[in-house]
Amino acid sequence: MTLAGRDRGGNALTIQPTNRTFTVATPARITVVSLNVDRNVVSRGQKSIVVTMQLRNPGGASAQLTLGRLGLKFNGQNASQAGFKVTTPTSPAIITGNGTASYSFTLEAGASALTGALALEADVAGTDLLTSKPLVTQGLATPPVLTVQSAAALTVTEIRLARPTLNPGRTVQIEVAVSNSGAAGVGAGATGVQAALKFNGATTGFTISEAPDNVRTLAAAASTLLTFTVSVDFNPARLGVKTVTATLAGVDANSNAAAAIVNTATASLKVQNPVPPTLAQTGITVARSISSAAGQAATVFVDQKDFVVRLAVTNTSPTVGGVGLRGLTASLKFNPAN
């Protein structure tokens, strides 16, 4: 700015010029440089999901961010609408002109979080530090996708007994049918499906062996069959009808958290002493006739109600001119005799 003038006497004024410099800055705005999540697939209820985001301010003016509003959107919905809890960062609050800043978020997928493939977007709020006007945000052309699944959920659908009774000292095979109604799978090995059998809520006196080839990995909407061999000792206290239950355990393959468990099916097992066979003779069959010659033999089958006894019969007293054995009869006795 240049000034000129004269005083009242008509003399020219001497003016010392003063220069000021003004900078015109382009408005602050935000561009999302990157948005990354530490895993691609999670389960409802999963915690400690880490998302990192880098923002750039390509404008000349500084951008003032409202950190309490800094977050994420899921398929266009904010975190609370989508069923997520977001731990927001505390700094930096200002991104200078042509500057960048990085932020880290911790997510928790709620029990009712949206499921499916969710597009992640930066949710940014703030103002131009010079004009106080709201910031304009430019997101990624191709946002990252986070897939959310319903958590693994295990159910005992059936307990099958090879037979309904068990004698002390004997064994019975028991199969436990398990299904997974969740969209997330169940891990393998020690994190896979586990089942603990109980008899009236206890295992005292019972020996339980699990089949080594039981399949513990369980995919979404799949089922498996766990096989056990069970025996019981000779203690009279074990006798009676026992309710067989199976307590499940397993780990969600996404979150490494315990899978939801529904222990529903039960079965009944009667522990009893052996029942003596019923000796109701139903018939005798001779494999072939025995001649009158000494030493001639035949096999005799004595049919009982519960089993067949095979007897070897030999003619040791030959008869002269006879026709061998006629009208053969047999009777069986056991100890105790009956």
> What's the pLDDT tens digit per position in 75-88?
999 999 999 999 98
Q: Which pLDDT does position 256 carry in this prediction?
A: 93
Helix (H) or strand (E) holding 310, with range, is strand 308-314
> What's the pLDDT tens digit per position in 125-161?
999 999 999 999 999 999 999 999 999 999 999 999 9
The whole-number average pLDDT for the span 233-238 is 92
Q: If you average pLDDT over every residue of the chain, what do you get?
A: 85
Q: Which pLDDT does position 322 carry in this prediction?
A: 47
Q: Which pLDDT does position 320 carry in this prediction?
A: 47
Q: Please, is 215 exposed, middle or buried when counting C-beta atoms within 10 Å of its C-beta (0-12, 13-18, 19+)?
A: middle
Q: Which pLDDT does position 265 carry in this prediction?
A: 95
Q: Which pLDDT does position 56 carry in this prediction?
A: 97
The whole-number average pLDDT for the span 247-273 is 94
Query: What is the side-by-side order of every strand in the sheet holding 206-210?
Result: 206-210, 223-232, 171-180, 153-161, 260-262
> What's the pLDDT tens digit per position in 156-167?
999 999 999 999
263 vs 259: CA distance, rounded Å:
12
The whole-number average pLDDT for the span 57-67 is 94
Question: Over 60: is that where the pLDDT of 302 sits?
Answer: no
Do 215 and 189 form a contact (C-beta atoms < 8 A)? no
Q: Which pLDDT does position 283 carry in this prediction?
A: 52
- pTM as predicted: 0.71
Q: What is the DSSP letter of 29?
A: -
168 vs 205: CA distance, rounded Å:
10
Do 32 and 53 form a contact (C-beta atoms < 8 A)? yes
Give me the amino acid identity at 233: D
